[in-house]
Structure 1
Amino acid sequence: MIRQKSIRRVKPPEDYQARLATPFAVLGLRTDEDWLTDIEYLPPDTPTLVPQTPLAREVCDQLQAYLADPGFVFDLSLHIGGTVHQRRVWQAIQDIPAGATRSYAAIAVELHSAPRAVGQACGANRLPIVIPCHRVIAKSGGLGGFMNASDGLPLTIKRWLLQHEGI
């Protein structure tokens, strides 16, 4: 079960409570009291940081559980900002199970939106993996974009995550 809070506080870019090494990047984690606020993909050579709080430790444990088992279901309190439309898109994305994908267009039809607006909401997602925007692909079956990019490291990360989930 994932609990959500929609108030946003801005934190400095290096204010991580943990930095976790993964096969595809280092994940910078931010927490705010009892809420996970951000997961950021950092370059693979970024130094790791042991969890500084109990919540950061729990987030790391759950991310490592996902890396060991792509079917792992996260149970975290999420501090979500964004517009009403973005939150609707993110909820639709959370409903996509591991090992499955949906197209930007399919989500747009479901939400009475446009594929580009769904893609923009994906690009604004501050909690990747937990809100698995990597499971959203182009209508053609291609990868589409990822992290507001159409090539390079972001698509390498998306490809790794999808392969990890058996896609």
Structure 2
Amino acid sequence: MSQISFHSPVGELSIAEDEGFIVSVDWGWGSIQEETPLLQEAKKQFDAYFDGQLKQFNLPIRPFGTAYQLKVWKALQTIPFGETRSYQELAQIAGGSPRSIGGANGANPIPLIIPCHRVIGKSDLGGYSGGEGIETKEYLLNMEKLFR
């Protein structure tokens, strides 16, 4: 598995590739750094995303999870840049309950590319396990609104 790390507006990010697919995006600096053409392209797309020039990532991904998680993550990818959906709305699309949607979101191995930050609660933003938590979610949602 190859990985690169870089600085972003939401902190240090590490992207990992395995067999030609992006398999994870993690907060923090990875211990092993090995660039590949795919990881270089991913970094380029992340830079464009944070500059407001990219609205949807175009990268081969392979998230590892249960059949239900994969269904939820696929539904997340249909939420347009700058828009949100509630946990309840996503449960109507992917099945399950708002709580199970939250669990699948929290287990998302490829955040930002699979935009789990676009899922909100009925009366608040809900949770977020990436970066600085809810502050990172707020930043991402506000950034996308600004560049929409």
- The TM-score, its normalising length taken from structure 2, stands at 0.89
Q: Which has the higher helix share?
A: 2
Residue among 40, 45, 61 paired with 1:62? 45
Q: Which residues of 2 match residues 96-115 of structure 1 at below 5 A?
A: 96-115=79-98
**Who is 1:137 aligned against?**
120
For the 8 Å contact 1:108–1:114, the answer to whether it is kept is yes
What RMSD over aligned residues (CA atoms) do the two structures have, in Å? 2.3
Count how many residue pairs are aligned between Structure 1 and Structure 2.
146
- Whichever residue aligns with residue 28 of structure 1, its letter is S
**What secondary structure sits across from 1:77 in the alignment?**
coil
**Who is 2:5 aligned against?**
19
**What secondary structure sits across from 1:20 in the alignment?**
strand
Q: Which runs of 5+ in 1 are unaligned?
A: 1-10
**Who is 2:145 aligned against?**
166
Deviations 1:1-27 (A, max 9, x none): xxxxxxxxxx7xxxx621110111111
Distance 1:64 1:114 in 2: 34
Q: Which runs of 5+ in 2 are unaligned?
A: none
**What secondary structure sits across from 2:73 in the alignment?**
helix
**Who is 1:156 aligned against?**
135
- Whichever residue aligns with residue 63 of structure 1, its letter is F
For the 8 Å contact 1:70–1:164, the answer to whether it is kept is no
